Amino acid sequence: MSKAIIRLVTCGSVDDGKSTLIGRLLVETDSVPDDTIAAARDVRRAGSTVKKGDIDFSLLTDGLEAEREQGITIDVAYRSMQLRNGRRLIIADAPGHEQYTRNMAVAASRADIGLVLVDATRGIRPQTLRHLHICSLMKVSRIAVVVNKLDGVNYSQEVFETIKRDLQPAIDRHGLTDVEFIPVSALSGDNVSVATDKMPWNTGPTLLDYLQHWPEQLDTENAPHLGVQTISRAENFRGVAGTVFGGSFAVNDEVVVLPSKKRARIARISTFDGDLTTAPDLSAVTLVLDPDVDASRGDAIELASNYVEPANRFAAEIVWLGDSELIHSRSYFLINGSTIVPAMVTAIRHVININTGEHESARTLKTNAIAAIELATDAAIALNSYSKNRYSGNFILVDRATMSTVGAGMVTHQLRRSSNITEHHFEIDREIRAKQKSQKPQVIWMTGLSGSGKSTIANALEKQLFANGIHSYVLDGDNLRLGINKDLGFTKEDRAENVRRVSEIAKLMFDAGLVVIVALVSPYKVDRDHARELFAEGDFAEVFIETPAEVCAQRDPKGLYKKAAAGELPNLTGVGQDYEAPTSAELVLDGQAPLEQSVEKLINRFF
């Protein structure tokens, strides 16, 4: 089955002329309504040099008023163009500014062809290389490098050949084998849809000819994947609804529900327009399974003869899109289709230098960084290799505090350790251990600034619990940094790892039936929330020791504030680093109140 729709992403650095090129291509193929063309003769972008009455082609892809006011492309503009062979071309005009790289990455993830523009008057720029790299990561295997604005260099063949030669190392580095260099002048129209006599040295195709001769692509038929979006119920059936990617399903196919690996047969394929015998690629369907095995939103359906083994450890390549740096060991939401699972980056293998292609070491990722990473998910999920399936092999990372997308990733492969580790369940469990001690285990997590009184209150509370016959243990931040956490500093990523380790230790002690008292600055809400998620509701309590920063500085029991004032301690919480106070703690204690009063409140609230 031939692919009727071709998706093209145009990218490159800002002001390379993407919008003008696409606008002209649309006009010269009669793909723009007459009233839109008329408006492009009257309205002008900020700073436009196009004379009134002439068509400002760049306006034809602007979708936002802000784009016209600022004279730049901000969002991805999608336009449709009918090719002469009857196939339809969907053009994504991606923004060139670095701050909008995330928009370009999204457009490239669905593209068949990448059109990378280079301004002949400026040459190759960092964003050109970044976009070329992202296209290769997103498996956009066919690339047209369009050298624009040749009218600005007198249609020089030497300039064109120099750009071609200088870009070749990056092309070779990314393993791109289907690359065509096309010289054009979008403003004058040379070689866009018609070749002119201004570049007699050019023997290659026009841009339109290149697009027209896109080879027929056959849809893959060997690895269909349906992410369950919802459970559809009616009087006579219950089915799993979603969109088919990467192949097709048919009635009577044996399928597997992932990650549970429960098997069933497709008894019926239902759509809004009626039943089908086959669910083709990109079709939205409801599959009725026999037997009616348990499945829910976020699960995946694949053929029993060819399915991805669920895993919880992956190697991946990622484009970091967040305004804030990646925090090592911090929990994010990993989203693939309808599947959402907590995940953390466990290792940064290397960051890729987009100018040289060299692999550089890094402890964190900054905005627009491209890196190879390892990540772990809290539960096994069915992620494929991106090279095998672009739909079941992609993911995004979402900041759990702001719910903003901070990373776009492509799975390289599953890590072997994912299948080499098996959880063991022992007969003596937490309930039996707790019954032996005649107590209810729980975690009391005390957070506050250094000097707020956490350790002092924790010590007094444990003494009272000991007197009451309750088995407890204090996990103190400083004590842990003398042992298991001695390798950690006080950067954001080290603090996240500190909280992660302490929370896992607390979970083990909780499982032993103990009351665990944690005294830890733990300055970031998202890290404390991740610790909470390890426990069932009612087993974890956050206690905020509220003490003014000036009081903590006056106490200064460890001399930390004195060092911070002298510039010797840049990462002290509340001075060099922010502290995110709890907004919904189970208990707030006044750090200046008498110690006995704080202990009494804790006993009355939790015991």
pLDDT on residue 4: 65
CA proximity to 321, closest of 218, 402, 382, 242: 402
Q: How confident is the model at residue 446 (pLDDT cuts 50, 70, 90)?
A: very high
pLDDT one-digit tens code per residue, 196-226: 899 999 999 999 999 888 765 544 446 889 9
pLDDT on residue 65: 38
Q: Could you please report the per-residue DSSP string of 318-332?
A: EEE--SSPP-TT-EE
% residues pLDDT > 70 (the chain): 88
> Quick check: 163 pLDDT over 90?
yes
At position 289, the amino acid (one-letter code) is: L
> Quick check: 48 pLDDT over 80?
no
- Fold match between 225-303 and 311-420? yes
**Helix 157-173 with 126-137: angle, nearest 10 deg:** 40
The domain ranges of the chain are: 5-212, 225-303, 311-420, 434-606
> Quick check: 104 pLDDT over 60?
yes
The mean of the pLDDT values for the chain is 86
Q: What superfamily in CATH does domain 434-606 come from?
A: P-loop containing nucleotide triphosphate hydrolases (3.40.50.300)
Question: Is 329 known to be catalytic?
Answer: no
pLDDT on residue 68: 40
> Quick check: 277 pLDDT over 90?
yes
- Within 10 angstroms of residue 247's Cβ, the number of other Cβ atoms is 20
Residue of 107 and 514 predicted with greater confidence: 514
Look at the block and give the residue holding tokens 């239902």: 270
**Helix 595-606 with 454-467: angle, nearest 10 deg:** 60
pLDDT one-digit tens code per residue, 343-353: 999 999 999 98
Q: What superfamily in CATH does domain 225-303 come from?
A: Translation factors (2.40.30.10)
Q: What is the spatial distance between Cα 100 and Cα 103, in angstroms, rounded to a whole number?
A: 5
Cis before residue 523, ω within 30 degrees of 0? no
Residue of 575 and 395 predicted with greater confidence: 395
pLDDT one-digit tens code per residue, 347-375: 999 999 888 888 999 888 998 899 999 99
User: Which entry of 452, 522, 584, 598 is annotated as an active-site residue?
Assistant: 522
% residues pLDDT > 90 (the chain): 51
pLDDT on residue 43: 62
Mean pLDDT throughout 141-163? 94
pLDDT on residue 219: 45
pLDDT one-digit tens code per residue, 54-78: 666 767 665 433 444 444 444 577 8
pLDDT one-digit tens code per residue, 176-192: 889 999 999 998 999 99
Q: In this predicted structure, which of 48-62, 63-77, 134-148, 159-173 has the lowest mean pLDDT? A: 63-77
Architecture of the domain made up of 311-420: Beta Barrel (2.40)
Cis before residue 291, ω within 30 degrees of 0? yes
Mean pLDDT throughout 575-598? 91
pLDDT on residue 563: 82
- 530-549-446 Cα angle (round to 5): 35
pLDDT one-digit tens code per residue, 222-251: 688 999 999 988 777 789 999 998 889 999
> Quick check: 116 pLDDT over 90?
yes
> Quick check: 26 pLDDT over 80?
yes
pLDDT one-digit tens code per residue, 283-310: 999 999 999 898 899 999 999 998 989 9
Q: What is the spatial distance between Cα 509 and Cα 547, in angstroms, rounded to a whole number?
A: 29
pLDDT on residue 74: 46
> Quick check: 421 pLDDT over 80?
no
Residue of 218 and 416 predicted with greater confidence: 416
> Quick check: 134 pLDDT over 50?
yes
Q: Could you please report the per-residue DSSP string of 409-424?
A: EEEEEE-THHHH----
pLDDT on residue 80: 83
pLDDT on residue 493: 84
pLDDT on residue 572: 79
Q: What is the spatial distance between Cα 545 and Cα 524, in angstroms, rounded to a whole number?
A: 15
Determine the 3-state secondary structure of 121 from DSSP. Answer: coil
Mean pLDDT throughout 512-534? 93
At position 423, the amino acid (one-letter code) is: E
Q: What is the spatial distance between Cα 492 and Cα 329, in angstroms, rounded to a whole number?
A: 10
Is the distance from CB of 146 to CB of 118 less than 8 angstroms?
yes
The token duo for 279 is: 């669910």
Put simply, whether the predicted model's pTM sits higher than 0.85 gets the answer no
pLDDT on residue 542: 97
The token duo for 395 is: 């993911």
Q: In this predicted structure, which of 234-238, 493-497, 500-504 has the lowest mean pLDDT? A: 234-238
pLDDT on residue 245: 87
Q: What superfamily in CATH does domain 5-212 come from?
A: P-loop containing nucleotide triphosphate hydrolases (3.40.50.300)
